[in-house]
Structure 1
Amino acid sequence: MEQCLGQLPTFLSVAQTGSIAKSSEKIFKASSAVARSIRELETAIGYALFDRVPRGMMLNPFGLAVLRRAERIQSVIAQTADEMLRARADVRPSEKSVLLNLLYSGRKLHLLIHIAQMRHLSGAAERMGLTQAGASMALSRIEGALAVPLFHRMMQGMVATDAADKVINAGKRIFAELRHLHSDISAMSGELSGLVVVGALPLGRTFVVPAAIAATLKAHGKLHIRTIEGPYETLAAALRTGEIDMIFGAVRDEAATPGLVVEPLFHDRIGILARAGHPLARRSAIALQDLLHEQWILPRPDAPGRKVVDDSFHELALEPPVPSVECGDLAIVRQLLCGSDLLTAMSPHQMRVEIQAGLIQELPVVMGKTVRRIGLTMRDGAMLSPAGQVLLDNIRHQSAQLAGTTP
């Protein structure tokens, strides 16, 4: 779908005017060029987008689907151009035209994104199938046309300037809309396909997200689903730029997540977990204060689970333990628990398979309040693709099932 990007301004003009001739006058292109652009777009999409009628060009249902995404892309591009040019006092009319051409060029946007990610021209050139000299020349032309540097050449590599960050973030949002467009069109043709990207925080990785993916693929076998694991801050940044469609896990307060919306799905609690056969497992009840001198595995200080654990100790007028290990990786935590007498504080649902297999058990510890909200985080104003909506609905369904169970 990315090859469609350069054709969208012409498509929008024809959709607005309802005529190739009128569009030709409006955007100062020959009628033959306008018609050719529409044909190329329809070929790339795989369907006719207009009904050719005596009174002009009328959008059909496929055209309306493209129009919805094209208008969102146009909005991103216009907003980005305004932000970049607003701070400059002496903007020539040609500069805005150059910037708009860049933002409608998928290949140029990809080059900037790859340079920012890899911080080296050689790696970006390889990704793009270019020589390093070719990539360097392309970047120089872009910077020359914009009359602003896009990267600082530093010892640690090429670091994006503020201007480049604006263009790159816009490019990611644009590519996300084009990715969704593929799913939009496939859904209308009767066979859902496309890519959905979900960010999975620790709680979601053990049951809800895998079960939702399995249910989605069972019904729609041609979908492709990608999971991204990482700290919340990394996932939230990718969510804002459209690289991720949704995040599932512990939700943050709305006030601390500008530009994002949260949908709590259920409440989860923290328990104290240890290996099966741990010396403490023989006791029928354990006071939290009796565990102060044990060795602990706890989440990082900035993780919501860590705050819940610390608050639980504070609620009972106890100082939280200093962890021997700070870790949020389930595989590492699982191995440490099974191979030692270390304790951890986490949701029993995160170790549901190991608890059911008899490898790990929850200790009978009386704790303070350890409830936290689990749910979805999405970008405010995002328009999910039909494929994304199916996965979203399955996550909601699996969450509802999990809410009433104990591991």
Structure 2
Amino acid sequence: MRAIDLLNGRLKLRHLVLVVAIADQGSVLRAAEHLHLAQPAVTRSLREVERILGVELFARGPRGVTPTLFGEAFVEHARAVLAELRRAGERITGLADARVGAVSVGTLLAGSNALLPRAIAALKRDRPGVTVTVHEAAFDAQVPRLLDGEIDMIVGRLNPLGGRAGLRQTALYSEPVRLVARTGHPARARAGLTLAALLDYPWVLPLPQTSLRRELERAFHGAGLGLPGDVVECTSILTVRTLVRDTDMIAALPELVARSGEGVAPLPVPLEGVRRRVGVTLPDRRPPTPSARLMLDHLRREAAALDA
């Protein structure tokens, strides 16, 4: 197959924007509406791209279009190019006027409930003109967006990279994980409370693919116990705290969270060796924008205060 030269001037930036819009919208018509263009113009531009590449990017169907194997590959690169151009614009703006800019942060569902809000508040006091956008999702869902440049960093509990290339992590602080229950929980009246005794009650556990779930499983197995039988699986801290406060459920929460909610308090049962390491995940080879560097500085300062 011939080598495709995409630097000969035939491929335009508008082609990249159009292909990504079609992939996102799942339809040429919806992409045209999204881009405020006429459908024939979008169809014509898509055919131009396909002629340049010599392949079909989308398979047409009765309910819209889906990317072909070639389309998936091209859309991935198109997203990365557009993200880099957005970052270039933000960087130039930041260099020209340090008072404005933008930073996009990914945080985990069981993420940095204390650190990130404090760092954002400090950044906004320092630079009110900087726009901060926070995206909440699981770590595995955040990584592609980080690599594509859609977000600047991931903040929260550090997850193993699992051999993923192009990423680096920095730990910011560490805190113990505590077992919690509502203040009027019947287990508090039991003498010599143990982890085994807590299996008599319902639990809220993190999802199986999370680091905290794996650490809890090791703690149970280390004590010669199986997992609780009556379980709700959830990673939303707000939902977990509400369930614990309003029912007899037991959960494992970072100490800062465990001590911050009314009606919920730690139980006198230690979880040896279970800690939450909070930090930031960054792209290994892409330098941060000026606004992202400011956010990192504030994250480090606030983490130092939490760790003090």
Give the structure-1-normalised TM-score.
0.70
SS of the residue corresponding to residue 169 of structure 1 reads: helix
Amino acid at match of 1:211: R
Match of 2:5 among 57, 81, 96: 96
Kindly indicate whether residue 264 of structure 2 is the aligned counterpart of residue 360 of structure 1: yes
Amino acid at match of 1:301: P
Kindly indicate whether residue 181 of structure 2 is the aligned counterpart of residue 274 of structure 1: yes
- Cα deviation for residue 231 of structure 1 reads 1.0
Partner of 2:136: 229
Choose 140-149 or 215-224, whichever is displaced more. Answer: 140-149
Is the 2:172–2:280 Cα contact (8 Å) retained in structure 1? Answer: yes
Q: Which runs of 5+ in 2 are unaligned?
A: none
Amino acid at match of 1:371: R
SS of the residue corresponding to residue 287 of structure 1 reads: coil
Task: Note the aligned Cα RMSD (angstroms).
Answer: 2.2
Summarize deviations over 1:304-327 as a string: whole Å, max 9, x none: 111111111111121122452111
CA change 1:321–1:172 in 2 (3 A) is: same
- Cα deviation for residue 160 of structure 1 reads 2.0
Kindly indicate whether residue 254 of structure 2 is the aligned counterpart of residue 347 of structure 1: yes
**Where do 1:3-18 residues align within 5 Å?**
none
Q: What is the alpha-carbon distance in structure 1 between the residues aligned to residue 251 and residue 8 of structure 2? A: 53
Kindly indicate whether residue 53 of structure 2 is the aligned counterpart of residue 163 of structure 1: no
- Highest RCO, 1 vs 2 (Cα 8 Å, sep ≥ 6): 2
Q: What is the alpha-carbon distance in structure 2 between the residues aligned to residue 113 and residue 353 of structure 1? A: 43
**Where do 1:167-316 residues align within 5 Å?**
167-283=74-190, 285-316=192-223
Q: Percent identity?
A: 29
| Structure ID, larger Rg | 1
Is the 1:179–1:195 Cα contact (8 Å) retained in structure 2? Answer: no
Amino acid at match of 2:252: A
Is the 1:313–1:368 Cα contact (8 Å) retained in structure 2? Answer: no
Q: What is the alpha-carbon distance in structure 2 between the residues aligned to residue 129 and residue 106 of structure 1? A: 16
Is the 1:98–1:145 Cα contact (8 Å) retained in structure 2? Answer: no
Is the 1:296–1:321 Cα contact (8 Å) retained in structure 2? Answer: yes
Match of 2:274 among 354, 363, 370: 370
Q: What is the alpha-carbon distance in structure 1 between the residues aligned to residue 113 and residue 32 of structure 2? A: 38
CA change 1:153–1:286 in 2 (3 A) is: farther
Partner of 2:299: 395
Q: Which runs of 5+ in 1 are unaligned?
A: 1-88
Q: What is the total number of aligned residue pairs between the two structures? A: 308
Is the 1:201–1:250 Cα contact (8 Å) retained in structure 2? Answer: yes
Is the 1:111–1:124 Cα contact (8 Å) retained in structure 2? Answer: yes
Amino acid at match of 2:2: D
Q: What is the alpha-carbon distance in structure 2 between the residues aligned to residue 253 and residue 282 of structure 1? A: 39
Partner of 1:6: none
Amino acid at match of 1:96: D
Amino acid at match of 2:274: T
CA change 1:113–1:285 in 2 (3 A) is: farther
CA change 1:99–1:159 in 2 (3 A) is: farther
Kindly indicate whether residue 243 of structure 2 is the aligned counterpart of residue 331 of structure 1: no
- Cα deviation for residue 242 of structure 1 reads 0.7
Is the 2:259–2:266 Cα contact (8 Å) retained in structure 1? Answer: no
Choose 318-327 or 232-241, whichever is displaced more. Answer: 318-327
Amino acid at match of 1:90: R
- Cα deviation for residue 290 of structure 1 reads 0.7
SS of the residue corresponding to residue 228 of structure 2 reads: coil
Kindly indicate whether residue 26 of structure 2 is the aligned counterpart of residue 122 of structure 1: no
Is the 2:109–2:138 Cα contact (8 Å) retained in structure 1? Answer: no
Summarize deviations over 1:289-312 as a string: whole Å, max 9, x none: 111231111111001111111111
